[in-house]
Homo-oligomer: A and B are copies of this chain.
Amino acid sequence: MNGERVTIVDVATRAGVAISSVSSALNGRPGVSEATRERIVQVAAELGFVPSLRGKSLSGRRAFTLGLVLHRDPDVLELDPFFGGFIGGIEDAIDPRGYALVLQISAEPDEVLQRYEKLAADRRVDGVFVNDLEVDDPRIPVITRLGLPAVAVNPGADFPLPAVRQDPDDGIRALLQHLVGLGHRRIAYVGGRPNMTHSVQRERAWRAGLEELGLEPGPVVPGDFTYLAGASAASTLLGLAEPPTAVVCANDLSAIGLIAQAQHLGVDVPGTLSVAGFDDIRLGTYVRPPLTTVHTSPRELGRHAGRLLVDLIEEGVAEDVRIPAAELIVRESTGPAPAAG
């Protein structure tokens, strides 16, 4: 097992054929009789032959590697709900097809662009995933110029790259129906980081959903997806002359911060204020009251993104994917609107 590596030459010699036959046989290409193929497969197994990725890469002009550059502060990654599931999903899809994932993290926007440049220049990866999209995302022109195959996750409509999407609309619509069914009429919104596609989509869904229900939009407080932004929004909203009776937050973490601060101010959730999040992170099941939220599917998104990117690399085409809509999860942070009104 140790020492010298078994190469295609060893297999060819032992099987008494040319290396080209070994290559064809093991890759399921035509040009080898069934009898020969079987013998080669047998010998390869006996010898424990595994083709070297290095040889394959150089001759096949592919790295069999995909890249994901996260634009985050590595030290804050700990609370990101999307991350683990998304990467797990990518692997589910790409590992069986012989690809692996190179992960890079950077908090600096310029450094992120440099990483893409370097991945392309090195030819370290055959393609990349692009997530956490911003409006007019600076990565897109760079990736396009580099000619890097790429798949986007949850971009806006009419995006120039193949994409996988899970729309927030149905989930937020269901959430609003739930709240209105509980008697709420004044429903606020706490935003996410303003220039991110996610933020834009979710706020638009909130606005459209209210309109469908014949309600005016309630107050909107800007945010940034953090616990602290949620806590701060609680103070803002509860200090209003006419506070809302319900709040929809751009994500769970800010909803949890909002609840904590509301409780700290002596406001009962959901007795006085109903609060809902978005993402369905695990922490939301722990806090009190457990968080009503909209469930998303990072792993499923990862699976489709992985499949699309490999398709794009190997076949040159990839059809956009839209996965089943985000789904309402009712827990205990939402309840009947207070009687007063």
Contacts and interface: CB of A to CB of B under 8 A. Distances in A.
A105 B88 contact: yes
Contacts of A227: 283, 286
Interface centre among A5, A82, A105, A287 (most CB of B within 10 A): A105
Nearest to A49: B121
Interface stretch (A28-36, A52-60, A182-190): A52-60
Mostly, the A contact residues are: helix
Given A54-B58, A54-B63, A105 B84 contact: yes
Interface string A162-191: 000000000000000000000000000000
A65 B66 CA distance: 13
A173 to B, nearest CB: 26
Given A85-B74, A102-B100, A286-B227, A145 B1 contact: yes
Contact of A75 (B55, B84, B288): B84
Nearest to A107: B88
Given A85-B74, A145-B1, A260-B286, A100 B104 contact: yes
Contacts of A104: 91, 95, 100-101
Interface in A65-105: 65, 72-85, 87-89, 91, 95, 100-105
A122 interface: yes
A81 B82 CA distance: 15
A299 interface: yes
Interface string A274-301: 0000000111001110000000000100
A164 to B, nearest CB: 17
A123 interface: yes
A84 B88 contact: no
B74 A78 contact: no
A153 to B, nearest CB: 16
Interface string A114-131: 000000011110000000
A34 B88 CA distance: 50
A123 B288 contact: no
B83 A78 contact: yes
Q: Which of A52, A53, A72, A145 has the most CB of B within 10 A?
A: A53
Contacts of A287: 260
A223 to B, nearest CB: 15
B65 A76 contact: no
A91 B105 contact: yes
Contacts of A105: 84, 87-88, 91
Contact of A50 (B57, B79, B102, B122): B122
Given A103-B103, A264-B288, 5 more contacts: A54-B58, A78-B85, A228-B286, A260-B287, A260-B288
24 contacts: A50-B122, A52-B123, A54-B57, A54-B58, A55-B58, A73-B84, A74-B85, A75-B84, A75-B282, A77-B84, A78-B78, A78-B81, A78-B82, A78-B84, A78-B282, A87-B103, A88-B105, A91-B105, A95-B104, A101-B102, A101-B104, A103-B103, A260-B287, A260-B288
Interface of A: 1-2, 5, 50, 52-55, 57-58, 63, 65, 72-85, 87-89, 91, 95, 100-105, 121-124, 145, 147, 227-228, 231, 257, 260, 264, 281-283, 286-288, 299
